[in-house]
């Protein structure tokens, strides 16, 4: 039976005196991670973590502390965003483009390992309208691996999925138990019940299912459906990671770096990050880049830091795209390449990152890596400023532009400002 589905990311923001950290934990997530930036990047990271606002995402775990040199459990590096110097150039072409019903009460049952007694899962006694047993069977009979429960779940036949999965769970199928936990966790076909979800995840995890172990670990970290227990969460993360669960390996690194469930051990955290990074997890790639940039857990190595930032950037990690662009512009750990730096700033800006918008405005104003374009510079500055990134130098640059340039820039920026 294939794993039910990838979980949405969840994040928590911790704003310190001089930086903001976004800690994200998600199965298979490539949209959020440990992010670090300076004061002028606070608005950027809050926006980048739209995963937190939109899906959830985000947010999730109690912040994990960093040693005296930093302020959080997440990997943090002092901000290195520098403004590209140079006088403004003449204007040129285009600027930014726009891109169910409650179930009857059931008796409580005791669960192993200290979990409180939870109601037993409710078996469907009748199919809902449009979902008769025959229809459900017919809708999923083409399931290639014969997993009718999961096929029904994928087709939105949640009550049928619960019925099929419950029969398989009673026969000892661990992944069927995980699927039932997902139904209760998301309230699909049954009333949402985090305690029931946790109990099913525990049964599945103890039977060896890595996805269930990972999902239960998240609930134990959050204290959702069960009492918060970082040590028990770490045990289940280790179980999931030992079976090849990549997101679990990444989160294990976060816990080892934070020093809560374990004594703080940056070297072991780096080992866990590297396992997930080599498997293609962009969050872990970014975290490993920061490890090499800090020299905390691995010897400081700007070239390796740049390498992993590049991998994370190509994986769609917004914070990595911005930092990789900065390294390309200044030649930190890589050969300097202003044109490539501009391309990465454009990617991140188009994805809504205001820091990238600000840096791109500077490039257009100075003609560095892109043709000088006063309209584009002004437009990107207006959008970045509307999203909280102030820049007195660009304010002065815009003030010196003729009305025709400012009006054209306002027209281009209008969609972004009101989006």
Q: What is the pLDDT of residues 96-133, one digit of tens each?
A: 333 333 333 433 333 333 334 444 444 343 344 445 55
CA 144 to CA 215: how far, in whole Å? 26
Domain 10-99+208-418 carries which CATH code? 1.25.40.10
* Torsion, Cα of 363, 350, 277, 336 (10° steps): -20
With residue 119 as reference, give the H or E element that holds it: strand 118-119
- 378 and 409 in contact (C-beta within 8 Å)? yes
The tokens describing 133, both together, are 């047993």
Long-range contacts from 192-196, C-beta under 8 angstroms, 24+ separation: 193/119, 194/219, 194/224, 194/225, 195/116, 195/118, 195/225, 195/226, 196/118, 196/119, 196/121, 196/225
Q: Which residue has the tokens 């009460």?
A: 105
Please report, for the chain, the start and end positions of each structural domain, with discontinuous segments joined by +.
Answer: 10-99+208-418
For 91, 113, 138, 176, the CA distances from 254, given in Å and listed in that order, are 47, 25, 45, 29
Mean pLDDT, the chain cut into blocks of 10 residues (419 residues total): 43 34 36 36 33 37 35 34 40 37 38 38 41 55 67 92 93 95 95 96 96 96 92 95 95 91 92 96 97 95 97 96 97 96 97 96 97 96 94 96 94 77
The proportion of the chain whose per-residue pLDDT surpasses 90, expressed as a percent, equals 60
Structure confidence at residue 60 (pLDDT): 37
- 305 and 285 in contact (C-beta within 8 Å)? no
Q: Which residue has the tokens 């993360």?
A: 237
CA 61 to CA 367: how far, in whole Å? 43
The tokens describing 325, both together, are 């662009």
CA 211 to CA 175: how far, in whole Å? 8
Per-residue HEC secondary structure of 198-236 comes to: HHHHHHHHHCCCHHHHHHHHHHHHHCCCCCCCHHHHHHH
The tokens describing 44, both together, are 């950027």
CB neighbours of 146 closer than 8 A, spacing ≥ 6?
Answer: none
Q: For residue range 177-210, what is the model confidence (pLDDT) as tens digits?
A: 999 999 999 999 999 999 999 999 999 999 999 9
Nearest to 419 by CA among 50, 24, 92: 50
Q: For residue range 59-76, what is the model confidence (pLDDT) as tens digits?
A: 333 333 333 333 333 333
Q: Which residue has the tokens 């040590």?
A: 231
Q: What is the largest CA-CA distance in the chain?
A: 77
At 108 the three-state DSSP class reads strand
CA 118 to CA 36: how far, in whole Å? 40
- Model pTM? 0.66
Structure confidence at residue 276 (pLDDT): 97
* Distance between first and last Cα of the chain: 42
Angle of helix 230-242 relative to helix 194-206, nearest 10 degrees, comes to 50
CA 181 to CA 198: how far, in whole Å? 7
Q: How many CB atoms lie within 10 A of CB 31?
A: 24
CA 8 to CA 31: how far, in whole Å? 10
- 39 and 18 in contact (C-beta within 8 Å)? yes
- 338 and 368 in contact (C-beta within 8 Å)? yes
For 33, 120, 163, 194, the CA distances from 124, given in Å and listed in that order, are 39, 13, 6, 19
CA 236 to CA 217: how far, in whole Å? 6
Nearest to 289 by CA among 37, 63, 75, 58: 75
Structure confidence at residue 139 (pLDDT): 52
């Amino acid at each position: 039976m294939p794993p039910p589905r990838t979980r949405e990311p969840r994040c928590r923001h911790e704003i310190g005196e001089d930086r903001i950290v976004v800690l994200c934990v998600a199965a298979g997530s490539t949209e959020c991670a440990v992010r670090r930036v300076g004061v002028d990047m606070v608005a950027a990271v809050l926006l980048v973590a739209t995963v937190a606002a939109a899906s959830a995402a985000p947010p999730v775990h109690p912040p994990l502390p960093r040693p005296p040199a930093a302020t959080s459990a997440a990997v943090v590096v002092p901000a290195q965003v520098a403004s590209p110097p140079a006088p403004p150039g003449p204007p040129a072409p285009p600027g930014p483009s726009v891109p169910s019903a409650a179930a009857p009460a059931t008796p409580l049952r005791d669960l192993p390992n200290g979990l409180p007694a939870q109601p037993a899962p409710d078996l469907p006694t009748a199919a809902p309208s449009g979902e008769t047993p025959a229809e459900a069977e017919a809708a999923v009979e083409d399931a290639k691996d014969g997993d009718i429960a999961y096929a029904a779940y994928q087709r939105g036949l949640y009550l049928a999925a619960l019925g099929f999965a419950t029969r398989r769970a009673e026969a000892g199928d661990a992944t069927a138990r995980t699927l039932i936990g997902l139904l209760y966790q998301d309230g699909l076909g049954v009333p949402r019940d985090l305690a029931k979800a946790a109990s099913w995840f525990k049964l599945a995890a103890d039977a060896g299912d890595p996805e269930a172990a990972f999902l239960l670990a998240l609930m134990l970290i959050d204290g959702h459906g069960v009492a918060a227990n970082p040590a028990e969460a770490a045990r289940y993360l280790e179980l999931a990671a030992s079976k090849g669960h990549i997101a679990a390996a990444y989160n294990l690194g976060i816990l080892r770096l934070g020093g809560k469930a374990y004594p703080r051990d940056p070297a072991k955290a780096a080992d866990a990050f590297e396992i997930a990074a080599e498997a293609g997890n962009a969050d872990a790639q970014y975290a490993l880049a920061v490890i090499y940039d800090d020299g905390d857990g691995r010897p400081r190595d700007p070239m390796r830091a740049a390498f992993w930032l590049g991998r994370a950037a190509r994986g769609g990690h917004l914070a990595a795209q911005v930092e990789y662009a900065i390294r390309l512009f200044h030649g930190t750990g890589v050969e300097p390449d202003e044109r490539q730096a501009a391309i990465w700033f454009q990617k991140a800006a188009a994805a809504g990152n205001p820091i990238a918008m600000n840096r791109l405005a500077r490039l257009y104003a100075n003609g560095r890596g892109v043709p000088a374009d006063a309209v584009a510079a002004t437009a990107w500055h207006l959008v970045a400023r509307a999203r909280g990134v102030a820049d007195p130098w660009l304010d002065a640059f815009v003030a010196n532009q003729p009305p025709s340039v400012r009006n054209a820039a306002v027209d281009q920026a209008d969609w972004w400002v009101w989006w």
